[in-house]
Amino acid sequence: MKKLLSLVLALTMILALGAFGPTASADESYTVGICQLVQHVALDAATQGFIDALTEELGDAVTFDNQNASGDISTCATICNNFAASGVDLILANATPALQAAVAATDTIPVLGTSITEYGVALDIDDFNGVVGGNVSGTSDLAPLDQQAQMVVDLFPEAKTAGILYCSSEANSVYQAKVVKDELEAKGLTVVVSTFADSNDVAAVTQALCDEVDVIYIPTDNTAASCTEAISNVAEPAGIPIIAGEEGLAKGCAVATLSINYYDLGVTTGKMAAKILKGEADISTMPIEYFPNPVKKYVPEFAEAFGLEFSDDYVAVE
């Protein structure tokens, strides 16, 4: 009778545990590879948010292999190929070239993107419906582009010509530039689009653009974000204000932005990763997640230089 009772109790415990879905064993461990395109404020914050959130969920069970490609796209491919060869449990791809490299490297290891503006553009998916499918999902840093264009008009109502500046090799920058160009032209501005190939010609391209326009818009562009000092050193003396696509970029060279919080975006991505690793979610059905409430922000240093004052719905960048 005692043996029968013990068997019933044991079976009850197993069924109770099974009701909550798959759980990792106590000694299970995970290795997560992180490929970050380049070091700058926004991407650094997203990576840190991801690490903090996943560590909070899994503790010592997770180990991170955090690699930075230093802005070199071919290095992204090398990093991701190495992750695939070593059999990491999940890859975080931070920025579009990193995501493209990760997707090319593996179709079996879960890949989460973050700081990706538009997944349909990044992965060449026609009629993208919000779910990548396969082994890919993630988070987007897209802020409302129509509102960013409106910010240009609201802050600089006397401007007749607007410039758009970005790196030609970043697919998501191309996408943002097109949308904002159409928005600004619909508002009656003449738009001049200027691109640079890499960090080596940023200053020269910026100078040429400053000679033609009254205000400049820079989208969420990783190369630009890593070259803000060079951009500012040209634009500020020329008296040309800049509106930026995100806060980290704005801190270095712009008067204002409508920006998401990249650390929080990383946290969201880390929570997605935890669900995947613990078997609580199927990445092939996970929709891309977006930051819900972008915030209008201004940079006091640059605002003062251009004599601008901001309404209460703007928050100062610290």
Interval 145-166: pLDDT, tens: 999 999 999 999 999 999 999 9
For the stretch 51-74, pLDDT in tens is: 999 999 999 999 999 999 999 999
Reduce the DSSP state of residue 189 to 3 states and report it.
coil
Q: List domains and CATH numbers for the chain.
A: 30-141+262-287 (3.40.50.2300), 145-259+295-316 (3.40.50.2300)
- Contact between residue 233 and residue 206 where contact means Cβ atoms under 8 Å apart: no
For the stretch 67-115, pLDDT in tens is: 999 999 999 999 999 999 999 999 999 999 999 999 999 999 999 999 9
Q: So what's the pLDDT on residue 292?
A: 85
Q: Return the number of other C-beta atoms located less than 10 Å from residue 105's C-beta.
A: 23
Reduce the DSSP state of residue 77 to 3 states and report it.
helix
User: What span, in angstroms and rounded, lies between the C-alpha atoms of 48 and 66?
Assistant: 10
Q: So what's the pLDDT on residue 318?
A: 82
Per-residue pLDDT at 18 exceeds 60: no
| Cβ partners under 8 Å of residue 185, min gap 6 | 191
Give the CA dihedral 93, 202, 174, 215, nearest 10 degrees.
120
Q: What amino acid occupies position 3?
A: K
With residue 14 as reference, give the H or E element that holds it. Answer: helix 2-18
Q: How far is CA 129 from CA 119, 122, 177, 285, in A?
A: 10, 14, 21, 12
Per-residue pLDDT at 20 exceeds 60: no
Q: So what's the pLDDT on residue 116?
A: 96
Q: So what's the pLDDT on residue 24?
A: 43
Of 186, 221, 224, residue with least CA distance to 205: 224
Reduce the DSSP state of residue 213 to 3 states and report it.
coil
Mean pLDDT along residues 276-290? 97
Per-residue pLDDT at 4 exceeds 70: no
DSSP 63: E
Q: What amino acid occupies position 197?
A: A
Q: So what's the pLDDT on residue 27?
A: 59
